[in-house]
Structure 1
Amino acid sequence: MATVVPPSKRECERCGRVDVWDDERMNWTIAEDDGEKLAGDPQCLHEWDINGSYNPLEPDE
C-alpha cells in the first residue's frame, strides 16, 4: 500500500511566486526569504509547478 504525500511547496512558473503549506492554517501561504515575501505578480493567473510530473505516492518499504 502506498502513502499519499502532498506537496509542501509550490512555485508559479510564470511570475515566480512561491507558496508553502501552513499546517496550522491548513492553507497555502506566501513564502518569505529574509523577511521579503516571494509574492510574484498579484495579477498573475498562477501556473503552479505541481503537474503531471509530481508523484504524490510514496511506496511502502
Structure 2
Amino acid sequence: MSLTIRSPEERSCVRCGRTEAWNEDVDAWRVPEGDEGEVACIHDWDVTGEFRPVER
C-alpha cells in the first residue's frame, strides 16, 4: 500500500479574510487581487483538522 503526501492548495485568514492560493510555477503562496486583507494582520490560517495530508 502506498501513501501520498499532499499539501493544501488554498488557505484563508480567520482574522482579516485574506485568501491565498499555492502557485506551483513560483513555488509560493500568492494572493488573488482584491483579497489582500489587512497588511498589519498576524495571519491566523484556517487550520481546522479537516485537511488530510496523507492519502491512502
Could you state the TM-score of these two structures normalised by the residue count of structure 2? 0.85
- Identify the match of residue 46 of structure 1 among 43, 48, 53: 43
* Residue 9 (structure 1) aligned with residue 10 (structure 2): yes
Unpaired segments of 5 or more residues in structure 2?
none
Regions of 4+ moved over 4 Å: none
CA RMSD of aligned residues (A): 1.2
- Identify the match of residue 56 of structure 1 among 34, 49, 53: 53
Q: Which has the higher strand share?
A: 1
Unpaired segments of 5 or more residues in structure 1?
none
